[in-house]
Copies of this chain bind each other. A is one copy, B any other.
């Protein structure tokens, strides 16, 4: 397992270091004046290491890394007050970021028609979003194609106005000035379609109530 130009014996794939340095350059330019180049570099590489810890298919990692790092840099710039927020920011946290928090996030986005911005994360992220959860969301008119499980990070907590935890205990940092809610929602992991539909209905009721409270 000696690295040459291509990673870990996968011929034809570019060295991730080279690939990721291009994303670092792009993002450093995009966040210039908001986040220091060193922080951008750390954000990209630490996002890569973080997703790599639980990813199964590592070929997509550089693309997911770029999306994850962009979202985290946006959150950081918003938390620092150097980038405006479009509206209230809600963060959903569950254990695997594969079921509950993904459903809640998709519903907030869909039902608020994008007026409420939403992020999601997990304390112990799974390698993929639960396929039954994706089916149930699609059946409800929410086609989620680009969701992936992400570990909970400080930056997205700092950018949030409302943090909703579901089954992840005390895993989420508690900072002043935010509204924290804990929803007692069943875990869809390993459950059949009917059970997941019932969980989705429960989450939707809670999401609608939250959106009404947020005036969205």
Give residues in A with beta carbon < 8 Å to B.
1-4, 7-8, 15-17, 35-36, 38-39, 42-43, 45-46, 48-50, 52-55, 58, 76, 123-124, 151-155, 157-158, 170-182
Contacts and interface: CB of A to CB of B under 8 A. Distances in A.
Given A42-B42, A170-B52, A173-B49, A182 B15 contact: no
A213 to B, nearest CB: 15
- Residue of A45, A155, A171, A173 with highest tally of chain B CB at under 10 A: A173
10 contacts: A2-B180, A3-B177, A16-B174, A36-B39, A45-B158, A45-B173, A46-B155, A49-B153, A50-B151, A54-B123
Nearest to A47: B154
A186 B50 CA distance: 25
Copies in the complex: 2
A172 B3 CA distance: 12
Contacts of A182: 1
A4 to B, nearest CB: 8
Given A42-B155, A49-B154, A151-B151, 7 more contacts: A36-B39, A39-B39, A42-B43, A46-B46, A46-B155, A49-B153, A49-B157
A158 to B, nearest CB: 8
A48 B8 contact: no
Contacts of A49: 152-154, 157, 173
A98 to B, nearest CB: 14
B154 A3 contact: no
B38 A173 contact: no
A58 B152 contact: no
Contacts of A172: 52
Nearest to A2: B180
A3 B174 contact: yes
A40 to B, nearest CB: 10
